[in-house]
């Protein structure tokens, strides 16, 4: 039996999405220190401190619930290296991530 593709769409209604964008997504966007484009998404670099780990993991938990088509990869390097977050997915996910942080 073929797997059903998860649609590239956020399950939040407009009011909830607006609140998310004005809250945690804006905060995350302001913390981005570098952005690298990947074939199917983006790699974002953040400051290497515990507050950013908490903020990013909170955002991941929230976004996984409403955007199940996204892949999240969080890298916490040794020795105080910056935090790296990769957001990716199948065709269309990259454009969606762009709209999240525009």
pLDDT digit string, tens, across residues 61-75: 999 999 999 999 999
Q: What percent of the chain has pLDDT over 90?
A: 79
From the list 100, 83, 97, 88, the residue with the least C-alpha distance to 32 is: 83
Instruction: Please give the C-alpha separations between residue 17 and each of 9, 24, 45, 67, 81, in angstroms, as whole numbers.
Output: 12, 11, 24, 11, 32
Ranges of each domain in the chain: 14-100
**Domain with residues 14-100, CATH architecture:** 2-Layer Sandwich (3.30)
pLDDT of residue 95: 95
Strand-pairing partners, residue 56, are none
Give yes or no for a contact between 60 and 67, defined as CB atoms under 8 angstroms apart.
no
pLDDT of residue 102: 73
């Amino acid at each position: 039996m073929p797997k059903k593709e998860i649609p590239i769409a956020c399950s939040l209604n407009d009011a909830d999405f607006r609140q998310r964008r004005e809250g945690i997504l804006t905060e995350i966007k302001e913390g981005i220190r570098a952005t690298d484009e990947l074939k199917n998404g983006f790699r974002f670099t953040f400051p290497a401190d515990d507050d950013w780990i908490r903020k990013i993991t909170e955002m991941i938990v929230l976004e996984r619930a409403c955007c199940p088509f996204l892949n999240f990869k969080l890298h916490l390097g040794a020795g105080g290296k910056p935090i790296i977050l990769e957001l990716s997915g199948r065709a269309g996910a990259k454009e969606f991530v762009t709209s999240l942080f525009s």
